[in-house]
Amino acid sequence: MTEISMAQALNAALRDAVKDDDRVLIFGEDVGPLGGVFRVTDGITADFGEERCFDTPLAESGIVGFAVGMAMGGFRPVVEMQFDAFAYPAFEQITSHVAKLRNRTRGALSLPMVIRIPYAGGIGGVEHHCDSSEAYYTHTPGLQVVTPGTPQDAYDLLRDSIDSPDPVIFLEPKCRYWSKETVSFTRDGAAMDRAVVRREGKDVTLIAYGPMVATALESAEAAKAEGWDVEVVDLRSLNPFDDETVTASVRRTGRAVVVHEAAGFGGYGAEVVARVTEQCFHQLHAPVLRVTGLDIPYPPPKLERHQLPDVDRILDTVARLQWNDEPVVAGA
């Protein structure tokens, strides 16, 4: 066990996968000698050779299309889309072919491939570099979608994703690349499709994922000053969704708030709210609320603090959860 950053944990996962399985190949824009924009693939080409980790032309649709062919041929490609919005030129490949090939061939062919996408904001980037695009992928049947909130999960989820027989969209929260914790490489954590309770509490459940997990935990700590005992659930897997863990938490606390960076309208949180409301209706003491990004294109760096959910916005939302059983006022 050693203390490493999330970027280093991802690098370790890729290295171990390449070492353990000759079928694993890593490719994408600048992932070779440079080691990627965020250095996640640092040193892998030097240590394992250009046959295992190599650069591609700047053509995302070509990268994913090539990976489809490689996966059909028995390899396990791991490709990087350099930034979240850079993946959009490959979206047709992902939705029409990656997600559907198993169904199209009635199970004769599967695509064991991972598409790594650094996503979300918090790094002082601009539009095309800070999108939260998870809803596009979770809405597409045939894709597994996961996102780590901690360095340990970065290692475990990436190893599990590479081992999966089906395609995985692996969303890496850029603003957490430099967060550190002690990481074990034993792979004995929660299963890939399970959520986990990061902090136990009895008054309200904060449901978060990816970059917002740390923010939710910080909010839970700050909530003690207001007299609230807050539970934090890290979804980890966005599709498939772990109803069991999430609803068990909400039934215990009776209140819930969903937190994510993406825009609120049509966002992933709306699906979470719907599922929780349908399954926990009789245990809820207040409507399930959301804290999200604004319904605007991603703002310039000096303004992004207004876009991102923070502790104050989360605690303000928790305060609206009818703690005195007051009636809901329309438009309030």
If one counts every other C-beta atom within 10 angstroms of the C-beta of residue 316, the result is 11
Helix (H), strand (E) counts: the chain: 12, 14
Q: In whole angstroms, give the CA distance from residue 274 to residue 186.
A: 36
Q: In whole angstroms, give the CA distance from residue 42 to residue 205.
A: 38
Token look-up 């090939």 returns 101
Please report which helix (H) or strand (E) contains residue 7, including its range. Answer: helix 6-20
Q: Which of 25, 38, 109, 6 is nearest to 75 (CA)?
A: 25
Tokens of 273: 């709210």
Cα 117–chain centre separation? 9
Judged by DSSP in three states, 299 sits in coil
Write out the catalytic residue numbers: 129
If one counts every other C-beta atom within 10 angstroms of the C-beta of residue 92, the result is 13
CB-CB contact of 112 with 141 (8 Å): no
Q: At what angle do helices 268-280 and 243-253 cross, to 10 degrees?
A: 60
φ, ψ for residue 115, nearest 5 deg? -110, 105
The DSSP string of 41-64 is TTTHHHHH-TTTEEE--S-HHHHH
Judged by DSSP in three states, 193 sits in coil
Contacts of 38 (CB under 8 A, 6+ apart): 7, 118, 174, 177
